[in-house]
């Protein structure tokens, strides 16, 4: 059993946070630590998000590596008894704002440009909340809609980015995950990236690319680059 002071327990349980963050918090208060494997067993496919929400609410979480039940290296999160100030949780995104954002983008994901229903898109901070926080007012230009797949990919990439410690917003401003059409790096790695999703009638083009890749014993990416004119 974990041992935290009554003052700390009262403080952290009073913090506003999401339901998944509360579930992680309650486990941490009882046992002190929590692994990604345990979070997955609780039903969270992207386990670190629950801990990220808890951290956003103001909790201090230490990270370390441990072995899972299958011998794989995974994360272990430990709740640190530390009172913080000036760390507000995420501002809730009103439904009308999210709908306006989706309309602004034509209901397309800001990363892959795929077309999705309103309910399938999530309003995401261009500059991660952990680095830029929330602004004094909601502005469309500070957000972009992401499909669930790209939202998970961005979360993983940002959580492992060197800039997470430096917290330099200007670095995020030129990153693929913030401005895919005007980026100079991907999570500080110098490269250019293009994410494409094929939907509807476009699937025929994808199948053609796949057939060519199979015939040439090449990768699908190489075939696509060749058709685009890359040497």
Domain ranges within the chain, ordered by starting residue: 6-80, 95-173
Bridge partners (DSSP) listed for residue 125: 143
Nearest of 70, 80, 83, 2 to residue 36 by alpha carbon: 70
DSSP-based three-state secondary structure for 177: coil
Bridge partners (DSSP) listed for residue 73: 67
Q: What is the pLDDT of residues 99-113, one digit of tens each?
A: 999 999 999 999 999
CATH class belonging to 6-80:
mainly alpha
Q: Say whether pTM exceeds 0.95.
A: no
* CA dist., res. 11 & res. 5, Å (int): 10
Fold of 95-173: 3.40.1800
Q: Please report the pLDDT score of residue 79 as a whole number.
A: 92
Spans of the chain, pLDDT less than 50: 86-87
Q: What is the pLDDT of residues 128-157, one digit of tens each?
A: 887 887 777 889 999 999 998 998 899 889
Sequence-distant contacts of 15-19: CB under 8 A, at least 24 apart? 15/57, 15/58, 15/59, 15/89, 16/57, 16/89, 17/53, 17/54, 17/56, 17/57, 17/89, 18/53
């Amino acid at each position: 059993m974990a041992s935290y002071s009554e003052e700390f327990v009262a403080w952290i349980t009073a913090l506003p946070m999401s339901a998944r963050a509360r579930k992680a918090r309650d486990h941490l208060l009882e046992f002190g630590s929590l692994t990604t494997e345990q979070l997955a067993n609780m039903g969270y496919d992207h386990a670190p998000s629950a801990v990220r929400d808890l951290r956003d609410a103001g909790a201090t979480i230490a990270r370390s590596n441990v072995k899972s039940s299958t011998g794989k290296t995974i994360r272990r999160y430990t709740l640190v008894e530390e009172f913080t100030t000036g760390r507000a949780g995420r501002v809730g995104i009103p439904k009308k704002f999210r709908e306006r954002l989706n309309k602004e983008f034509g209901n397309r994901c800001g990363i892959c440009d795929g077309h999705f229903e309103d309910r399938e898109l999530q309003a995401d901070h261009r500059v991660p909340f952990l680095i830029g926080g929330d602004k004094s007012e909601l502005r469309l230009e500070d957000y972009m809609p992401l499909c669930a797949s790209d939202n998970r990919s961005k979360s993983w990439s940002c959580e492992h980015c060197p800039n997470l410690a430096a917290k330099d917003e200007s670095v995020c401003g030129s990153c693929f995950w913030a401005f895919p059409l005007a980026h100079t790096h991907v999570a500080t790695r110098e490269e250019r990236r293009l994410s494409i999703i094929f939907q509807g009638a476009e699937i025929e083009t994808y199948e053609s690319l796949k057939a060519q890749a199979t015939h040439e014993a090449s990768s699908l990416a190489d075939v696509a680059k060749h058709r685009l004119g890359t040497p």
